[in-house]
Structure 1
Amino acid sequence: MISIKTKTFHILNGDALLDNFPSELLTGEIIIARECLIDGPVGGATPEQFWETRAGFIQETYGEEKEAYFEEVVTEFEKIKAIPANSEVNFWFEDDLFCQVNFWFCVSLLMPVAHAIKVFVIKPPLIDQQPDWRGFGPMDRHTLAEAYLNKQELSPADLSLLANLWDAYKNDNREKFGELVLVKSENFPFLNQVIQAQLDRKDNRPENVLKQIMTEKETTDFKTIFQEFGKREGIYGFGDWQVEKLLEKIK
């Protein structure tokens, strides 16, 4: 009988985690999800159209050349699509909306082989049973390795849920989100809050909180506003670029 060796993959949400990743302790191929799918259009009837949509948005908004996008971003996602059966896939993703949208997309790419792989998620430890919205940021190699030991295996139902969430997000389907928010998963206990945060974007929740902060703090100082927004609305996981764009929209 031929023994099939299991290949191990670690999918990280962004390059920041790579700096502290305990690669000397954990074996396997590292894949980086270099996107911010929470920001901008995600349309496209085909994968090629989707990548063109994203590349154009990233170039226009963040000044990243299309060629660089295809070389540094699309190639990593293509690696996910090429993960073979009998693999072990470890997702290093946090609970905030920024991370979750990227996570949903990555899982959707894996669905053709989902039945034939083992999938795990590694998340930062909770604080008083609530997410630490700073995510992996404060963690060093030692604590990241500890988090890996506490990884959670995802069931076929979990993977289906995440892929369906991407479909709802991509198609801006509020009705489908309304159905999915009722689905319970032990591995994603804060999903209902995350989905609600996404739905509330249509009602300008982030912009309204920014207005409140500027009024209450009597300031237009970006650093002050950004830090306070992180305290109040860490669930969004917005970086400084996303908050800057929201402030421009308000002005």
Structure 2
Amino acid sequence: MTSAILHITNGDSTTNYLKSLQFTGDFITWREMLCEGKTTTDVGSETFWKNRFDFLKSSYKVSKQKFINYTLKEYRSLCNKKETKEIVLWFDHDLFCQINMIGVISWLKTYRKGYHISLVTNGQIKGSKKLKNLSELTENQIQQHFKNRIDLTEDDIEYADYIWQLYCSESPLRLETVYKYNPMSPFTHLADALSAHLQRFPSIKNGLNHLENTILETANTHKFSSKNQLVNQLLKTQTTYGFGDLQYEHHIEQLHKLFTSFNPVKLSRKGKKVLENQLNFYGELRDENLYLGGAKKYSFLFNNESEKLLQITS
């Protein structure tokens, strides 16, 4: 007997929570981080997965076996579940989840055309200043979110796929003009996530992007006795990205030349100069193999004044 609902979730914590609350249906956990590394539009293809493994292996030392067990087996389970009446997507507000979400919807558009697809995403909870992740909601709150899930129209699916195509293109310039102009979109968090994405290209001021500048600023304004304390502070304050400790450790490692020590955490003189925009670090960071979606990270600069991207022509 086929299940009436297939839940595709943003991570193991949401899957485990929904299962503990006795939600009925089948579950697929989308274990990817499409917001980092090279992506291509053809989600699920051999080329797509090769690009993903190459990135995860080089940046996060993920072994082939772990990639197969952790990500590909779950993807193959998704491919095999074709008879479900409704597919429910569970994705949070942050950059990490929103990029995964549009990648999944692009796949659904291609391989599950005409299926009933709905979306559960986190909204403002009364009495709380910050958006809570789905796995942080109480049982009553999550049941209410599920009850109020948004049915995605064909136009909604087309729109999410269109944004995915732009995200995977060689230039993010069209993305910066398009993402703000769909006020009727059910994807209420997508514009903020894409705004954060565009600020991940290096700043024209010092060659560091918004997140990298935030790491330096956080290290400079607090007294941390270890790198772990720095990471924990970033986890607490940088909720726009939805990154975990592995991502922050990776980004800190890329900036290691701007620190004299991590026990305790101390910026070098060069680090302080970069932070104060007295020194541009672009040349030392530039790496032709680093991608954000389909675009090379160091082929574009973010102008903080105009909030526009500039393409570097060689």
TM-score above 0.5: yes
Q: Which residue of 2 aligns with 1:37?
A: 34
Q: In the alignment, does 2:242 pair up with 1:245?
A: no
Counterpart-to-counterpart distance in 1, 2:68 and 2:156 = 30
**Offset, 1:199:** 0.3
Q: Which residue of 2 aligns with 1:120?
A: 118
Q: Which residue of 2 aligns with 1:9?
A: 6
Q: Which residue of 2 aligns with 1:55?
A: 53
Q: Describe the shift of the 1:210–1:68 C-alpha distance in structure 2 as closer, same or farther (beyond 3 A).
A: closer
* Contact preservation (8 Å) 1:94, 1:100: yes
- Counterpart of 1:239, as a letter, is G
Within 5 A, what are the aligned runs for 1:166-245? 166-178=164-176, 179-203=178-202, 204-219=209-224, 221-245=226-250
* Contact preservation (8 Å) 2:5, 2:84: no
Counterpart-to-counterpart distance in 2, 1:65 and 1:71 = 10
Q: Describe the shift of the 1:127–1:86 C-alpha distance in structure 2 as closer, same or farther (beyond 3 A).
A: closer
Instruction: Structure 2: state its 5+ residue gaps.
Output: 203-208, 257-314
Q: Describe the shift of the 1:118–1:157 C-alpha distance in structure 2 as closer, same or farther (beyond 3 A).
A: same
Counterpart-to-counterpart distance in 1, 2:70 and 2:4 = 23
* Contact preservation (8 Å) 2:123, 2:131: no
Counterpart-to-counterpart distance in 2, 1:56 and 1:240 = 21
* Contact preservation (8 Å) 1:41, 1:54: yes
* Contact preservation (8 Å) 2:34, 2:99: yes
TM-score by structure 1 length? Answer: 0.84
Secondary structure of the 2:73 match is helix
Counterpart-to-counterpart distance in 2, 1:134 and 1:224 = 22
Counterpart-to-counterpart distance in 1, 2:129 and 2:51 = 32
Counterpart-to-counterpart distance in 1, 2:26 and 2:84 = 15
Instruction: Structure 1: state its 5+ residue gaps.
Output: none
**Offset, 1:172:** 4.5
Q: Which residue of 2 aligns with 1:90?
A: 88
**Offset, 1:27:** 1.9
Q: Describe the shift of the 1:60–1:211 C-alpha distance in structure 2 as closer, same or farther (beyond 3 A).
A: same
* Contact preservation (8 Å) 1:12, 1:92: yes
TM-score by structure 2 length? Answer: 0.69
Secondary structure of the 1:21 match is helix
**Offset, 1:108:** 0.8
- Counterpart of 2:221, as a letter, is E
Counterpart-to-counterpart distance in 2, 1:69 and 1:211 = 32
Q: Which entry has the higher C-alpha Rg, 1 or 2?
A: 2
Q: Which residue of 2 aligns with 1:100?
A: 98
**Offset, 1:83:** 4.8
**Offset, 1:56:** 2.7
Q: Describe the shift of the 1:12–1:76 C-alpha distance in structure 2 as closer, same or farther (beyond 3 A).
A: same
Q: CA RMSD in A?
A: 2.8
**Offset, 1:177:** 1.1
Q: Which moved more, 1:73-82 or 1:8-17?
A: 73-82
Can you list the C-alpha shifts for 1:148-181, whole angstroms capped at 9, x where unaligned?
1221111222211211222222225313312233
Higher helix share goes to which structure?
1
Q: Describe the shift of the 1:208–1:130 C-alpha distance in structure 2 as closer, same or farther (beyond 3 A).
A: farther
Counterpart-to-counterpart distance in 1, 2:248 and 2:155 = 34
Can you list the C-alpha shifts for 1:66-96, whole angstroms capped at 9, x where unaligned?
1332343123224444554772110010010
Q: Describe the shift of the 1:140–1:85 C-alpha distance in structure 2 as closer, same or farther (beyond 3 A).
A: same
Higher strand share goes to which structure?
2
Q: Which moved more, 1:38-47 or 1:107-116?
A: 38-47
* Contact preservation (8 Å) 1:125, 1:132: no
